[in-house]
Amino acid sequence: MTADATAHVEDGGSIIYMPAFLSRSEADRLLALLLHEPASTTRQSPVAVAASDSGKISKRTRSARRDVSDAIAWKQEHGRFGRPFPRLTALYGDPGVCYTYSGTKYDCLPWTPELALIRRRVEEAAKAPMNSVLLNRYRDGQDSMGFHADDEPELGKNPILPSISLGAERRFVLRHTRSGRRLEYVLGHGSLLIMAGTLQHFWQHALPKTKDEVGERVNLTFRRIHS
Ligand SMILES: O=C(O)CCC(=O)C(=O)O
């Protein structure tokens, strides 16, 4: 699908796909920030900064602070049987919000300035409040996500799940759990996909591996976690 499209699927689920939710330059900038590893030489603790600058913030110090506050704490998490997930992950959210996925309990880090901004944009589009975001980083075509439904009790009965894709295009496949019917989207750079309604009750979704030479991809799935 290429234009903004809403698909109503059987059993009351819906999928909205907006291929150009972010402009090319917004998507490029956000991806660069999310993949950015701060150089150790540019890190400075806020205490050291305050002591050395005594109120005056130099350009270099400002960019060092930005490096630290915007860098994503990517982690290699392991599943229930100790096997590493084929992707890196990070979870950000409001204080006290946590999420359990595939037997792993993720600690929530506080929103970075960039993630907080993008959360507002996504909430407007989805017309729903979000209190956390799970970031998945697919380093190449061998990184993937198997079929699953986002149906954990803490997500509520019919969760609204907006997700932004950045970087390499990848296939996103939905499979009806009873009929086996499949739907497929090629999720592009800067796109927004929203799963809603009863979709998680009757459909599973996956991001399959590919043998194609593909670059990195980052996906941000926003969630409202009920405590
Ligand atoms: O990377 C994707 O597009 C899929 C992410 C996903 O399925 C999830 O976070 O539950």
Residues of the chain with pLDDT > 70, as a percent, come to 80
Tens digits of per-residue pLDDT, 60-108? 444 444 455 568 999 998 887 889 999 999 999 998 887 666 666 667 8
User: pLDDT at residue 54 above 90?
Assistant: no
The residue that leads in pLDDT, 53 or 216, is 216
Residues belonging to the chain: 227
Q: 85 in helix, strand or coil?
A: coil
Backbone angles phi, psi at 185, to 5 degrees: -125, 145
Q: Are residues 121 and 213 in the same domain?
A: yes
Query: Hey, whose CA ends up nearest to atom 9 of ligand 1?
Result: 221
Q: Are residues 28 and 137 in the same domain?
A: yes
DSSP code for 105:
E
Q: Are residues 49 and 157 in the same domain?
A: no
Q: Are residues 59 and 171 in the same domain?
A: no
CA-nearest of 134, 135, 139, 133 to 86 is 139
CATH number reported for the structural domain that contains residue 148 in this entry: 2.60.120.590
Q: Are residues 98 and 183 in the same domain?
A: yes
- Domain residues for the domain of 118 are 5-36+72-223
Position 108 scores a pLDDT of 87
Domains identified in the chain, total number: 2
Q: Are residues 104 and 46 in the same domain?
A: no
Q: Are residues 23 and 57 in the same domain?
A: no
Mind giving me the DSSP string for 14-55?
EEEEETTSS-HHHHHHHHHHHHPPPPGGG---HHHHHHHHTT
Average pLDDT over the chain, rounded to whole? 85
Question: What residue ranges line ligand 1, CB within 6 angstroms?
Answer: 134, 136, 145, 150, 163, 165, 172, 187, 205, 207, 219, 221
Q: Are residues 63 and 76 in the same domain?
A: no
Tens digits of per-residue pLDDT, 114-151? 999 999 999 999 999 999 999 999 999 999 999 999 99
Q: Taking the model in full, what pTM does it have? A: 0.84
